[in-house]
Chains A and B, each alone.
Chain A
């Protein structure tokens, strides 16, 4: 099975003066899972976006089964036999499940200018049944389903017509364990049918486990293509970063006692439909982890603690007796929160890095009876913390929208470090972030912990919970279902058993 399916030849793509993909050439075979790895901004998504017609090609060619293809949009790409499951939400709200599945291919159901909705729904239902997603109904609006189910619909949409190549771009990080298993199952099926999968992920163990061949990109340049059985995680890291990745990744200490000093008490907190009667204490200098399936309510915990939940009951109390019921109060008492939805809830996208960092600290930075701000002072403050967290940027006037995911996260962290927050709630802090930045974030968390700050870390990545937390609380169906203490022998299975 080493027949060539796709030849990538001298491919180039620039955005302005940024060369996103430079003269990349390699081959992808039939019947394989071909992983594409590299740090953020290495050109993986740019390359697959050109293949699926989302971006235009500057120069170079894709040759699919001996035929040059130039798709101008996703529908044309589908017609050539190429489909994609994107990183973020790829289904359209306001349409039914069936309409989403057959988007761009409605003509199959049109007779004399009239669409036969029944036939469309029937076929979509049959497909959903075949995939084992019976609980999703073709005639329902897609909006009725959660993120996870919408991803499943996308899997159907991208694979039902037996495409020759399916691109799966960073989809697994958005899925819970269950959803991942579903995805893996269908990856296996596609592969066994002799078709090809281009698999993009930051999760190296997953890459090694699920792919046959791995191509590494760095700064838009092709580095190497290797068989996954010939390489290990450290080897991959070295190829991606271009040097040996030294130093520790997670925390290495064990057996440090947790302080008795309680800094935050959560009592009987409920948010209708999301969490029920949750109570826990956060201790000084502790990293408290929250794990579970993505629908377990754990993401709402962060919002509830920060006073950002709608219609929350119960109390969140600081050590000095202050009750946290809204965001401004939370921030005033040095509580910080970074959302899983980074682009909407963490960074103000269309504003400068400087303003983003200074935003919660403006009171501290103003002076005089009129509370005036000076540009110089703001700039110095922003520069100081951007440097401390090593945000990769030209200067602090740059807009956040131009930064990569990892750097956006760093801007948010710089903001809260600058605010001198003592209690930090991090929801999925490393989602979609490459190894180097991940390492930076873990080190920052460890430093904060040593400085006596307390951290709540909510994550779907079980390994990082095990690696970083003093205590891990597992959630299931909106309730706490178990608690585990830091232990070098803890493995993922002990967590999963409490999750499902």
Chain B
């Protein structure tokens, strides 16, 4: 009996230790965000605080798009085509906006969804690994963007500038994230996604339509980024050959900085998106304000990314990356 008791006690201790580790992983990004924010404010004599609007203006597109990729990565997939989706959808928004602005928003979403459907088709039906498929579509659609912008950048309607208010962009971001949060946290959608990431075959045997879900997630992520294209266009006004460039890397870094395990599964948390995007933007703008060159910036970001991946990688389930 005594043996039994010590056994349960030690089990509890072990669990406490584990939950302490989980706690650490959970609060580290938030602490990191606060520390980095305070640090840069001190280093730049409060310049960051005073230009908060400018800093935040960069976060909306990343944060919205990151939500779609978050869903994909929860299932254990990856999406490298996000930058090209944003670029092409932005071009479509620009062109259609000259006729009708609400229609332009819808056209952007459709463009994104269509590219997502192409990703989903090759990933699910042709059974090619998601990162291979999306790297292919990344190059493919980047090529189309370059072709469309060969002569000149594609400009949007002049009326678009009227929409460029912090209130609108903030409202859009909050609404989208709120919908995403409720769906992920309080409906079967979230549990199903996590189950696919944590063990796809078993999820299938528990009644989840895994193939349909995987396909739909790529469409959804494309559609969400297609919407983000509108936010992007009202900010930049026109699209060049590099429109949306490297969004996929920004999203990936943001999610990992937010504490998301790169293999997805049951340990992901919705706040990874928000904390991660903010941390990434603060880090990025802070370094820029400090006068760090773009080349240097990439190097620093690379190091930070590597450190976070090393800390948050869930080594037990790494083999499930699809």
User: Which A residues have a C-beta under 8 Å from some C-beta of B?
Assistant: 16-18, 219, 306, 308, 327-328, 330-332, 337, 339, 344-352, 355-356, 358-360, 362-363, 366, 370-374, 394, 398-399, 401, 415
Contact = CB atoms under 8 A, between A and B. Distances in A.
29 contacts: A16-B14, A17-B10, A17-B11, A17-B13, A17-B14, A18-B10, A327-B204, A328-B208, A328-B209, A344-B201, A345-B201, A345-B202, A346-B205, A347-B202, A348-B202, A348-B266, A349-B199, A350-B267, A350-B316, A351-B198, A351-B199, A355-B195, A356-B206, A359-B203, A363-B188, A370-B182, A371-B188, A372-B186, A372-B187
A359 B10 contact: no
B265 interface: yes
A346 B208 CA distance: 13
B289 to A, nearest CB: 41
Interface of B: 3, 7, 10-15, 17, 182, 186-188, 191-192, 194-195, 197-199, 201-209, 265-267, 314, 316-317, 320
Given A345-B201, A346-B202, A362 B188 contact: yes
Contact of A344 (B3, B17, B202, B266): B202
Contacts of B198: 348-351
Contacts of A346: 202, 205
Main secondary structure of the interface of B (DSSP, over half): helix
Contacts of B197: 350
A363 B188 CA distance: 8
Contacts of A366: 187-188
A374 B12 CA distance: 26
Contacts of B204: 308, 327
A398 B10 CA distance: 15
A220 B194 CA distance: 35
B191 to A, nearest CB: 6
Contacts of A327: 204-205, 207
A187 to B, nearest CB: 34
Contacts of B194: 351, 355
Contacts of A345: 201-202, 205
A404 B322 CA distance: 27
Nearest to B267: A350
A18 B207 contact: no
A247 to B, nearest CB: 21
B199 A344 contact: yes
Given A331-B207, A352-B266, A373 B202 contact: no
Contacts of B182: 370, 372
Given A350-B317, A359-B191, A394 B201 contact: no
The 7 closest A-B pairs by CB, nearest first: A362-B188, A331-B207, A348-B199, A350-B198, A351-B198, A351-B266, A17-B10
B203 A348 contact: yes
A332 B207 CA distance: 8
B322 to A, nearest CB: 14
B14 A351 contact: no
Contact of B205 (A308, A363, A370, A399): A308
Contacts of B11: 17-18, 394
A219 B14 CA distance: 17
B188 A18 contact: no
Nearest to A365: B188
